[in-house]
Structure 1
Amino acid sequence: MITAYCSNCKSVEIRDLSHAAKFPDDVVWIDLLEPTREEELYVEKIVGIEVPTRDDLKDIEPSARLYTENDAVYMTASLVWKAETEAPTLTDVAFILVGNRLITIRYAHPKSFALFIAALHRVPEEWRSGAALLAKLLETIADRTAEILELSVARIDILSTHVFGDRARKVRKPSNYLEVKLRDIAGHHRLVSKVRDSLASLARLMTFFYTIPAVQKDQATKELSRTVSRDIQSLTEHASYIAGNITFLLDASLGLINIEQNSIIKIFSIASVVFLPPTLVASIYGMNFEFMPELHWVAGYPSSLGLMVMSAIIPFFFFRWKGWL
């Protein structure tokens, strides 16, 4: 789908590709959402540049993501998509500056684009140029990334409360409770990892974007791009801090699982030691030799039972005195 946005913020959805009519002169942003090959060829013919395909966007080499060709500036960044779901992923988005126009090519629906389109009418008229709109769009992407990190921090705090708080209150939980929490921790780690990868690609893009002539000529766009670069750097450091907290939570959860397993093993070990002396007594008097003094003793049976009970009680209280129970 091709959507063209004019300088007055009105959008025009291009549906008829039967003839190659040029875009209106006041079009400043052309958004290609999951374009077909026919739509790509249509834009190439109208604008006069080569449009990257879906396979081109997957290249990870910086030289294939950030370059200038025939007076057109090509930039590709990885954005976080489906951050609110259990399977967040990265989607590659291409940004092309040609003349006074911005062209975006995407095969997903990052929320940052929806937020930017919804607020497009609030962009001042002096910002409605290709480079200025891209700077504003990148600012919205950075803000959305910050929102994702804030959401992740809130969820990790709740998870930490579940892991440590319930244990402090001695709330009974299912035997696999911590194992379930480990899967939740892995999900948060995946999200933060995707955010860090996205921020790394955005940092490279901003470094390249800051040097292009269209940005250097516009002081306001230049200042905004510098601000966005600082925001991305701060978000990268914050993401690293969150990743460290997740690592701590993971190690702590594994430690708690080991403690619970050791407690179970300790109970069985103590039980075996407690019942070992009675077993020894029973074994001695179960040998049934012909000449055993206690075989004809009237009080032999109750005495052996009492000896077995005493041999079990004494180790039990000894372990309690030592604090092993």
Structure 2
Amino acid sequence: MSSRKHKIERKNLGTSPGTLQYIGLPLDNQIKITRIDFTLEGHQKKIVQNYSEASPSTTGITWLNIDGIHKPEVIAEIGRLYQLHPLMQEDILNTLQKPKFEFFGENTLFIVLKWLEYNPHTREVEPEHVALVLGPRWVLSFQEERSRDIFEVIRKRIEAGAGKTRQNGADYLLYALADVVVDQYFRVLDCVEENLDRLEEALFKNAEQKHLEEIYTVKRELGVMRKVVTPLREITLSLSREAPLNGQSLISANTEIYLRDLYDHINQVNETVELYRDQMTSLMDLYNSTISNRLNNVMKVLTIISVIFMPLTFVAGIYGMNFEYMPELHWRYGYPFAMGLMAVMVVIMLLWFRRKRWL
């Protein structure tokens, strides 16, 4: 369900910075915490039942995925175990937080992203709040409650030992999670493109008022995507350039290369969004042109009808003056003559319009 259909109250306005309060749609589902510890040789997965099982591992890489952020006490306990800053926890609980990244000290990197899902029924783009935290040998991922796990593909790679996830450190896992989010943007754009093609074909055939409403809907959803994607350029660029320069050990040189590739993907998404926004302007012009041409055709038909009836009205007006001395009024063939004259005039005018290609 799209959060934009329901007004989300900003309960944290006026509160002290770092106050833990959930800002989002009301949910009553249980929070699911999944832990995966992995090395190059193997992995271990478990569903966390108590907080003692969520502590970072002393060996290997720990990935803790928290599916559901609507209970501040859970986020606070995870924050205590991993020594997360209160401001970071506050942003994790705020689903209205825009994409951002920030270093908290030298050993913690915090990123906020938005997962996007295209609803084929409402043709809307539905965002989901995602927060990633990178530590020296651990990664925390927080996501809103949804019917499916958006990071399932990464979990399968780790379990199968496929890809480079188990061969690299926690920073590569962070990149892999962010890459899954960005790849989803391409899927959403594919759905938007199909919708645009359908709209363009419909406008050529028969433009209607409902098509104008759909155009505005797509334009609004592209605006949502633009707000989500644009900050990611700065985020990935800063991660790939500033982290090594600041002496941070969280991002390795190997992962920096992958982050630059992620930056290229984000640029492609951003350029595609801008291209589709320009296409929306073209569709709007097409709609206006189609409606204008339809109105012109109607006016042309009405004008032709008016021009045809002008001489007929003139003839009828002459013989309707009822002067006493009008020879045709008492002529035996006066009525057939008048009707025939009118018919001949109509035929002549229609032939003339046809010759001029006005019909």
Same topology, TM > 0.5 = yes
2:228 is matched with which residue? 198
1:209 is matched with which residue? 239
1:138 is matched with which residue? 178
Counterpart Cα distance in 2 of 1:15 and 1:286: 100
1:5 aligns with 2:36: yes
1:98 aligns with 2:135: yes
Deviates more, 1:140-149 or 1:118-127: 118-127
Q: Structure 1 residue 13: deviation in Å?
A: 2.4
Q: Which of 75, 85, 96 is 2:111 aligned to?
A: 75
Asked if the contact 1:282/1:308 (under 8 Å) is kept, the reply is no
Counterpart Cα distance in 2 of 1:191 and 1:34: 25
**SS of equivalent residue, structure 1 residue 240:** helix
CA offsets, 1:31-79, max 9 Å, x none? 222221221122022112132355645244x8xx332224422221233
Following superposition of structure 1 onto structure 2, how do residues 164-313 of structure 1 map, counting pairs within 5 Å? 164=204, 167=205, 177-210=207-240, 211-212=242-243, 213-216=248-251, 218-313=252-347
CA offsets, 1:183-239, max 9 Å, x none? 4433433443333332212212212322332454x2221111111112211222233
Asked if the contact 1:274/1:313 (under 8 Å) is kept, the reply is no
Asked if the contact 2:115/2:184 (under 8 Å) is kept, the reply is no
1:48 aligns with 2:79: no
Counterpart Cα distance in 2 of 1:15 and 1:280: 95
Cα RMSD over matched residues? 2.8
TM-score (norm. length: structure 2): 0.75
The count of residues paired between Structure 1 and Structure 2 equals: 310
Question: Higher helix share goes to which structure?
Answer: 1
| Alpha-carbon distance change, 299 to 267 in structure 1, aligned in 2, over 3 angstroms | same
| Alpha-carbon distance change, 114 to 288 in structure 1, aligned in 2, over 3 angstroms | farther
Give structure 2 stretches of 5+ with no counterpart: 1-30
Counterpart Cα distance in 2 of 1:187 and 1:108: 26
**SS of equivalent residue, structure 1 residue 88:** strand
Asked if the contact 2:136/2:250 (under 8 Å) is kept, the reply is no
Q: Structure 1 residue 149: deviation in Å?
A: 2.2
**SS of equivalent residue, structure 2 residue 128:** strand
| Alpha-carbon distance change, 11 to 182 in structure 1, aligned in 2, over 3 angstroms | farther
| Alpha-carbon distance change, 215 to 153 in structure 1, aligned in 2, over 3 angstroms | farther
Counterpart Cα distance in 2 of 1:231 and 1:277: 69
Q: Structure 1 residue 250: deviation in Å?
A: 2.7
Q: Which amino acid aligns with 1:117?
A: R
Following superposition of structure 1 onto structure 2, how do residues 2-41 of structure 1 map, counting pairs within 5 Å? 2-7=33-38, 8-16=42-50, 22-25=55-58, 26=60, 28-35=62-69, 36-41=71-76
Q: Structure 1 residue 127: deviation in Å?
A: 4.3
Counterpart Cα distance in 2 of 1:21 and 1:111: 19
| Alpha-carbon distance change, 324 to 280 in structure 1, aligned in 2, over 3 angstroms | same
1:170 is matched with which residue? none
Q: Structure 1 residue 128: deviation in Å?
A: 5.1
Deviates more, 1:305-314 or 1:36-45: 305-314
Give structure 1 stretches of 5+ with no counterpart: 168-172
TM-score (norm. length: structure 1): 0.82
Percent identity of equivalent pairs: 21
Q: Which of 146, 155, 165 is 1:117 aligned to?
A: 155
